[in-house]
Amino acid sequence: MELSTKQSDGTVIVTIAQNRIDSAAAVEFKDAVKAAAQDANDRVLMDLGQVDFIDSSGLGAIIAVMKTLPTGVRLDLTSLRPPVEKVFKLTRMDSVFRIYPDMVTAQSDMAQ
Amino acid sequence: MTGDIQLSCLSNEAAVRVLLKRLMPMLDDWGLDVDALATAQIVLAETLNNIAEHAFPNCDDAVVAIHVRACPHGLEVATRDCGRPMPGLTLPEGCCPDPTVPVDELAEGGFGWFLIRAQTEGLAYARKNGVNHLRYTVPVSTDFTPAYGANGRNVDSCTHFE
């Protein structure tokens, strides 16, 4: 599982550096992001800009990560590519997460 | 170039990924647009991973066969495997988990059959002689021209392939 993390104030930015979050990757993805998110005080921002495929297991893993975050820490998503956005829309999970079109917009919304 | 692909993979998630990485460029060559390719990949992934996980829960090296054919109304897909039958010999309903429940009650699974049903037509399952047969059509945009159409093959045969 390839990802990088960057901390800024209470936010941990997690950049997923692989192009698939699929069934074969889901468990490792979940564990890696959970570990990376531990230092967040109020927000985890997951950059999915390099991900061009997600399946139901990958979607489930993102939901699982959100559910393990402490109260008061939220998981936001940014830079979804069309195939990934489609899965979120079809399953209506786009109503569960704050989803930003790009990193600049996501970061300018930090204060909220 | 033909509009007919038959591939197989072993019954595990890593092998399914390898098969998709091989198959998707072939579908790209058929001239499917980006949206159709995305739809096809998610549906193919869900069906193949379902087989690997549920038809072969304790076996990672059984064979799963897939047949994809380009037709004017979309991609016709058929899969075959010798694993466990579908419970009750019927396909799961595939209702989408409710996104409006409190966060700690959100479902982490159950999206697979919903994603298949939402993006396919003519979904059918049969168990014959110990073999699971699943078939469906992935509708693609009408400006998609099957590559084999130019070769003069009979498009009427599309609905009858196994």
Whether the Cβ atoms of residue A65 and residue A26 lie closer than 8 Å to each other: no
Whether the Cβ atoms of residue A23 and residue B13 lie closer than 8 Å to each other: yes
Q: Give the C-alpha separation, B159 to B162, whole Å.
A: 9
Domain boundaries, chain A: 3-108
Residues of B within 8 A of A53 (CB-CB) are: 38, 41-42, 45
pLDDT, tens digit (0-9, with 9 covering 90-100), for A21-49: 999 999 999 999 999 999 899 999 999 99
Task: Please indicate if any CB of chain A lies within 8 Å of the CB of B112.
Answer: yes
Mean pLDDT of chain A: 94
Whether the Cβ atoms of residue A26 and residue A59 lie closer than 8 Å to each other: no
Residues of B within 8 A of A92 (CB-CB) are: 96, 99
B75 — pLDDT class (breaks 50, 70, 90)? very high
Residues of B within 8 A of A22 (CB-CB) are: 13, 17, 45, 49
pLDDT: is B45 or B158 the higher one? B45
Q: Which of B125, B119, B145, B160 is nearest to B51 (CA)?
A: B125
Report the amino acid identity of residue A35.
A
Task: Please indicate if any CB of chain A lies within 8 Å of the CB of B99.
Answer: yes
Output the six-digit token pair for A79.
């830079």
Output the six-digit token pair for A98.
């704050």
Q: Which of B102, B32, B131 is nearest to A66 (CA)?
A: B102
Whether the Cβ atoms of residue A53 and residue A20 lie closer than 8 Å to each other: yes
Residues of B within 8 A of A66 (CB-CB) are: 103, 106
Q: Which helix (H) or strand (E) holds B79?
A: strand B74-81
Q: Which helix (H) or strand (E) holds B35?
A: helix B34-50
B69: left (phi over 0), alpha (psi -120 to 50) or beta: beta
Model-level pTM? 0.91
Here the ipTM equals 0.93
Q: Do A67 and B104 touch (CB under 8 A)?
A: yes
pLDDT, tens digit (0-9, with 9 covering 90-100), for B6-28: 999 999 999 999 999 999 999 99
Task: Please indicate if any CB of chain B lies within 8 Å of the CB of A95.
Answer: yes
pLDDT, tens digit (0-9, with 9 covering 90-100), for B145-157: 665 544 434 444 4
Instruction: Decide if domain A3-108 falls under CATH 2.40.100.10.
Output: no
* Number of CB pairs, chain A paired with chain B, less than 8 A apart: 82
